[in-house]
Amino acid sequence: MGQITLQGVRKSFGPVNIIKDANLDIENGAFVVFVGPSGCGKTTLLRLIAGLEDVTGGQILIDGHNVVDVPPAKRGLSMVFQSYALYPHMSVRGNIAFGLKMAGLPRAEIDRKVEAAAATLNLTPYLDRKPRDLSGGQRQRVAIGRAIVREPKAFLFDEPLSNLDAALRVQMRLEVTKLQKQLGTTAVYVTHDQVEAMTMADKIVVLNAGRIEQYGSPLELYERPANLFVAGFIGSPKMNFVSGEAAGEPGVATLGVRPEHLKIGKEGEGWPGTVSVAEHLGSDTFLYVDAGKLGTLTVRAIGEFSLKAGDRVWLSPDPARLHRFDKDGGVIRT
């Protein structure tokens, strides 16, 4: 079991409030991603769950027990660090076995578990190597092996893939997701990369300035962002924001429309504008359109459009997929 509940969790470093009243319910077996811009407190929140930082207020419950006074190792969680944090003087075997050794397991059992973990992660040929003789991806696997071998209630991942190159990152992303589903262990994963968040998560927690802005499945966040921040943060390229007045909706402070929901229409229909930059990716065409008082709009058109800078276009937003926000940035539900 690995159910994690945060109740009114606060964290301050001196006068600075890093986490302001976080409430969250992470179900057993879920893959939950904390995402947000740098400095939003996502790593701090993870470290609070891990026990590497002490909470200033509130409760952290793991399977119903408040663990705020429980030391990290006794919480039954394991963590994968951004820097891998392998013990450089120990072999791969020693690294994976360390936690079990500290727990005082018998030698034979340790060996059996280490070998099983190594087999799962394709590390068997490297068991006697030192971390410095491994590639980045292999090191990351060792770090994951060290986490799974202890059969924790939950895995905590702190930006584990950000030190890998792009191709390897995609591969490891798949491997981590597959492994988590296979083991069925709760996972909390911190990243600033929204693609990672969208692809890996069962549920995403969007954090901003120490506050949880929204908690929901990736598609919920994409389709029904609760506020301007989430709307702007989730989705790539970023959602277009225009003032409601300029768009002809006086009751709305800000109108949001995603680049993929802007259609290039017939002449005279919709918002007129001039293409300032056109990016042709083959599969998609990104247009940056100067639309007068509406500002610059980004358009994502599927397929190839032979438009170039200076061309005149008319854009019509998909009326069913418009997002309306009030002056405080909250969404207006209709």
Partner 1 sequence: MARKVTSRRLIVSTAAAWLFGFLIFLPILWMVLTSFKTELEAFAMPPTFLFFHWTTENYATVQSRSDYVHHALNSIMVAGGSTLIALLIAVPAAWSMAFAPTKRTKDVLLWMLSTKMMPPVGVLVPIYLIYRDFGLLDTRAGLILILCLGNLPIVIWMLFTYFKEIPKDILEAARMDGATIGRELVYVLAPMAVPGLASTLLLNFILAWNEAFWTLNLSTLDAAPLTVFIASYSSPEGLFWAKLSAASTLAIAPIIILGWFTQRQLVRGLTFGAVK
Where on the chain is the footprint of partner 1 (CB under 8 A)?
50, 52, 71-74, 77-79, 81-83, 85-89, 98-99, 102-103, 146, 150
Closest to partner 1 by CB, 35 vs 86, is 86
92-102 vs 107-120: helix crossing angle, rounded to 10? 130
Which is closer to partner 1, CB of 17 or CB of 82?
82
- Minimum CB–partner distance for residue 300 and partner 1 (Å): 39
Which CB sits closer to partner 1, 104 or 282? 104
User: Least CB distance from residue 138 to partner 1, whole Å?
Assistant: 17
Tell whether the torsion through CA atoms of 120, 121, 125 and 129 is positive or negative: negative
| Beta carbon of residue 71, minimum distance to partner 1 (angstroms, whole number) | 8
CA–CA gap between residue 148 and residue 135 (Å, rounded): 20
Q: Answer whether 152's CB lies under 8 Å from 185's CB.
A: yes
Cα four-point dihedral sign 181, 183, 185, 190: negative
Q: Which is nearer to partner 1, 155 or 241 (CB)?
A: 155
Least distance from partner 1 to the Cβ atom of residue 45, Å: 16
Query: Which lies closer to partner 1 via its Cβ, residue 96 or residue 291?
Result: 96
Smallest distance, partner 1 to C-beta of residue 160, A: 12
Residues 6+ away with beta carbon under 8 Å from 2:
28, 29, 62, 63, 76, 152, 153, 154, 185, 186
Which residue, 84 or 222, has its beta carbon nearer to partner 1?
84
Using the minimum distance from each CB to partner 1, give the nearer residue, 130 or 211: 130
Shortest Cβ distance from residue 149 to partner 1 (Å)? 10
Q: How far is CA 112 from CA 20, 97, 180, 188, 295, in A?
A: 44, 10, 21, 27, 63
Output helix, strand, coil percentages for the chain, rounded to the nearest 5: 30, 30, 35
Exposure of 280 in the CB half-sphere (CA atoms within 13 A): 7
From the CB of 78, what's the least distance to partner 1, in Å? Answer: 6
3-state SS of 43-112? Answer: HHHHHHHHCCCCCCEEEEEECCEECCCCCHHHHCEEEECCCCCCCCCCCHHHHHHHHHHHCCCCHHHHHH
